Each structure stands twice: as structure tokens, then as C-alpha cells.
Amino acid sequence: MLTFTEAQVLAWVSPLLWPFLRLLALFGAMPVLAQRAVPMRIRVALAFLIVVCAQASLPEMPVVALDSAQALLLIVQQILIGVTLGFAARVVFSAIEFAGELIGLQMGLNFAGFFDPATGGEATAVSRFFGISVSWLFIVINGHLLLIAALVQSFHAFPVGPEPFAFLRAVQPQVWGAEIFRLGLWIALPLVAMLLFVNLVLGIISRVAQQMNIFAIGFPITLGVGLLGGLPPRPVLVTWVPTHPSSQRERGYNQAELLARALAGGLCPALPGAALARKPVKTKHQKALDREGRQANLRGAFSFDRRAWDALPAKPGALVLVDDVHTTGATTQEVAHVLRDGAGLPVYVFTFSRAVSGRREGHD
């Protein structure tokens, strides 16, 4: 007959029980998995499966009688640590959703509120869009796996012990609530400032052109600016207007290249800049030519550097063409056409100065 004692049962159960309670508390507070759409049976089964798989990484658990006061304190400790870890991730989600509330208020979309079945409360369109976007990113970047790994490591930093509130004294989660408003304001600040500027312009227009119905055009304008400003930025690659190799050897440098490399570090540090256009054809000086003559002089003078494009570590979403001086735009227009046809991306031209009073481009 198979017999076992209470001490043996506790020795079998303890390595699973305390991690299971802590992980189950995390699943009840962390984003995405804590939503009502995830059934409780799924959370329980997933918590048990992860605990079994993580046994090799967990330290030894204390064996405590389950009907003792110490067991009650240990249960409270596991719940506090799990809920606090989930709350730490939830702070970021709440900050982004709060930013959506502020942006929606400036856009005039906060009246479009609806019932959110995931949270059981009211939500605005912009806030819900931000919440769904950050939830998608959370799963894509394996944020749920990072939280689970952090919880497993928490057994080494905060082992199962008789002091349930030692974790709270160490991490101070009660001060995290202020981070929701601080982060939310910082996230929403660019769009709020943009929309504030739009509202100021609309106010000036309403005073200058009083016959214009500002309420009829104000809402579409603020709505459009808010939607465009909320689009995710695309990575850009900065390039520059090239010169002929002989001209570069004479000067020793290319002003457009120097300016472009200085600009590239602020736009996209991952793509610091590349020379995607070349000028294999030596053209005559353009000082005495008009706009049509310059266009004819530069036609076919530039080519796309396919080898430099293929050597890029990551492909951008747009190109920024930098030139030092803009006179008639013939040079930047020709180079932009070459880049657009070669890379198949939109090209934005950025010049640092504009020539006036008969000044001419110096590219040759």
C-alpha cells in the first residue's frame, strides 16, 4: 500500500505552489493577459505550465505548513510581488492611453466615447487606438516573455520569505502613479503643441476673415492634423547632392556632404547617411546659364549608386536630399528624380540657404 506523510506532500507541492501564486497574480494584473477576453482557465493552465518549465531556474522553496499563519503571509507576498510587476507594465500602457485622451481632447474627438468591453469602462477613439497599438507592440517585441522572465528572476532578488512587505519597501510602487501623468504628458506634448498652434492660426483667421465659418473648417483641419501627426514616423536616410570626383579633389570636401552627415545624426542615428547618387559626367559651370539651360546641362549627369543602396544595413522609408544652396532647383530636381527612380521611395529636399540677387549654384 502506497503511503506518504504530510511533510512529503508539502515537499512536493511547495516548489510549485509559491511560483504558481506569484505568476497567477502577474497574469491578473499585466496588460493583454489580464483582459476579460482571456478566460481564467487559460491563465491558470498557462501559469501552471510556465511554473513547471521554470523549475530548473528557480531557487529552493521553503516548506511551510499550509494551515499556519506563515503560509498566509507567504501567499500575501506572492500576490503583492506578482501584482506589482504587472502594475509596472500597466503604468506604461496607462500613460500611452492618457496621452491618447489628451490628443483626442485637442483634436475634438473626445465626444466619440464608447463602451470598452475589455476594461468595462468608457474609452475614447484616440485612447483606444493608442491602447490597441501599444498592446500589439507589447506582443511583437515579446514584452510578455520579458515580464515572465522578470518574475522568474524575482525569486532570486526577493525570495519566498516571512517578510511580505520587504518587496514594497524596496521598489516603492506607490510613487509609480505619478509616472502615468508625467509620461502621458511627454508622449502627447508634440501633438498637443502642434494642435495648439493650429488652433491659434484658426483664431487669427477668424479675426482676419470674419465672414469665414471657422467652426465649419476648424474641425476637419484639427482632425486631419491630429491624424497625420499620429502616424508612426518612417526611418529616413539622408543623402546629398554629389559633385564630380575631379571637383571634389580640387576642393577637398563636399559642403553638401558635410551638412548632410551633421543632419543625419539627428534624424535617424541607425542610418547615418550614404552617398546614393554619383556624378560621373563632368558638366560645364552653370553660373552663366538660366534655369532651362541648367536643366539641359545636368540632364543625364547623375546616376544611382546601386551598390551603395544594396550595402545599407536597413532600408529606409524615405530619403532626404541635402544641398547647401538652392538657386533655381535644377540640380536638386535632377538628383531627386534619379534617387526616386532608383530607390522607389519619396524624396524630400532640404537646403540650408537660398541664393538671391544673381547668386548661382556652384556645382559642376
**Residue 206 Cα distances to 52, 106, 193, angstroms:** 67, 18, 20
**What pLDDT score does 28 carry?**
86
Q: Has residue 312 been placed in a domain?
A: yes
- Any idea what the CATH number is for the domain that residue 265 is in? 3.40.50
The residue-averaged pLDDT of 283-297 equals: 77
Q: Has residue 254 been placed in a domain?
A: yes
Per-residue burial over 182-202, b if 16 or more Cβ lie within 10 Å, else e, is ebbeebbeebbebbeebbeeb
More confident residue, 162 or 188: 188
Query: At 268, is the pLDDT very low, low, confident or very high (cuts 50, 70, 90)?
Result: low
Residues 176 and 265 in one domain: no
**What pLDDT score does 147 carry?**
87
Residues 147 and 209 in one domain: no
Tally of domains in the chain = 3
235 pLDDT higher than 70: yes
**Residue 185 Cα distances to 179, 181, 189, 200, 208, angstroms:** 10, 6, 6, 20, 33
Residues 29 and 163 in one domain: yes
Q: Has residue 168 been placed in a domain?
A: yes
Residues 171 and 219 in one domain: no
85 pLDDT higher than 80: yes
Residues 70 and 173 in one domain: yes
Kindly tell me the sign of the dihedral angle through the C-alpha atoms of 138, 143, 148, 151.
Answer: negative
Residues 107 and 222 in one domain: no
**What pLDDT score does 233 carry?**
64
Query: Which range, 103-117, 183-197, 330-344, 345-359, has the best average confidence (pLDDT)?
Result: 330-344
**What is residue 230's three-state secondary structure?**
coil
CA distance 283 to 191: 46
Q: Has residue 33 been placed in a domain?
A: yes
Residues 141 and 271 in one domain: no
Q: Has residue 1 been placed in a domain?
A: no
CA distance 126 to 167: 36
**What pLDDT score does 40 carry?**
87
**What pLDDT score does 118 carry?**
61
Structural domain boundaries, residue 217? 190-229
364 pLDDT higher than 60: no
Residues 252 and 137 in one domain: no
Residues 77 and 219 in one domain: no
CA distance 328 to 296: 13
pTM of the model: 0.57
CA distance 314 to 235: 9
**What is residue 353's three-state secondary structure?**
strand
Residues 14 and 136 in one domain: yes
Q: Has residue 361 been placed in a domain?
A: no
Residues 57 and 153 in one domain: yes
Residues 97 and 12 in one domain: yes
